[in-house]
Structure 1
């Protein structure tokens, strides 16, 4: 466990991201091979596309930290392409012939790149994200949120149970949604913060964003 920061929060680590991805992959392996063409929860993408999108997110965060001098005013210029109108614009695509097992291997591989970059990049490094120039911990937190909430979308589409560890959710909220009202159950709060549910006294968000700038 990392030491608390000056503000008292516990930082998000590479180990947090690695654990979340392994839990997600373990859950998704239980899906029926015939279910991957269905919609992922409320998303417009099917479940296969959503895993590709998640893999692409993790890859994109890793490569932002990759250059000797990471860019702070734009993305590393990989080409992002849609395979169909309305589908996700990705640089990462899985070979359909590999089936769901290959798709999840792509997810694990992309996650491993980000885990490795977070572990090895100096904490003072900064790199661009549209929601705020961030540090390695911020990219770990963004990867963690992407993994937790997109696995929620996938679990809905694939009819699978998914409740991630509360401590992971709490650390992600503290890092990326510092103004979110505290809750005894951080998982529903994270779903609310990312526009996926409502909470008592808090209607479902129709627009949302996190704050990826470094936090104390």
Structure 2
């Protein structure tokens, strides 16, 4: 059994999420200050908007776990809106006068909110997500996917190297994409699972979704 295969059997934790966010912020801090208006990889958004979208994802997952009785049929009703036609619909927007350092502070703060909620929410808590009602571990894994994959998009747009740890990718795949190929490297497999690339014998996906339901509650299709 390879190290990545063995690690896939372990749960996804708040520490895993914190590692993903801190690693992403560290890489993005090395970007040139004038590069943030460029397109983020294959996305239609620029790099600034993509960081705002990522911060918004982490914030949204945190607030789903926040109420004492989390919502079971929809999202906590914050207002999500785009700042331009075709831009991401966010509740979280960074003050552009704060520059890239401020933008990344917004990202780090949103990540810290989700890390804290995953650490402090009872594991039997359930909250709504469109890809399946989930538990704190599931929301941590969702936050990791968003962070790793959107940092990939950003790294392409900003010209930065980005290769997250294989064991982190393996645990996240096992939690959210249990049907993903098991005989390929975890990071390329996660990119394949989220429609970013192809794998040998597996063409690039044109649509995809994860299964956020708790591990023991996957008896029926999501």
**TM-score, normalised with respect to structure 1:** 0.96
Q: Which runs of 5+ in 1 are unaligned?
A: 1-7
1:181 aligns to what? Answer: 181
> How far off is 1:184 after superposition?
4.2
| Greater than 6 Å deviation, 4+ residue runs | none
Once the two structures are superposed, the pairs formed by residues 5-24 of structure 1 within 5 Å of their partners are: 9-24=9-24
1:107 aligns to what? Answer: 107
1:203 aligns to what? Answer: 203
> How far off is 1:97 after superposition?
0.2
2:85 aligns to what? Answer: 85
Aligned residues: 209
RMSD after superposition: 0.8
Once the two structures are superposed, the pairs formed by residues 130-209 of structure 1 within 5 Å of their partners are: 130-209=130-209
The secondary structure found in structure 2 opposite 1:27 is: helix
The secondary structure found in structure 2 opposite 1:35 is: coil
Contact 1:183 1:189 in 2 (8 A): no
Q: Which runs of 5+ in 2 are unaligned?
A: 1-7, 217-222
2:3 aligns to what? Answer: none
The secondary structure found in structure 2 opposite 1:74 is: coil
Distance 2:9 2:187 in 1: 17
CA deviation string 1:20-46 (max 9, x = no partner) = 111100000000011000000000000
Distance 2:213 2:43 in 1: 27
Distance 1:170 1:68 in 2: 31
Distance 2:93 2:184 in 1: 38
Distance 2:138 2:169 in 1: 14
2:66 aligns to what? Answer: 66
The secondary structure found in structure 1 opposite 2:41 is: coil
CA deviation string 1:101-121 (max 9, x = no partner) = 000000000000000000000
> How far off is 1:185 after superposition?
1.2
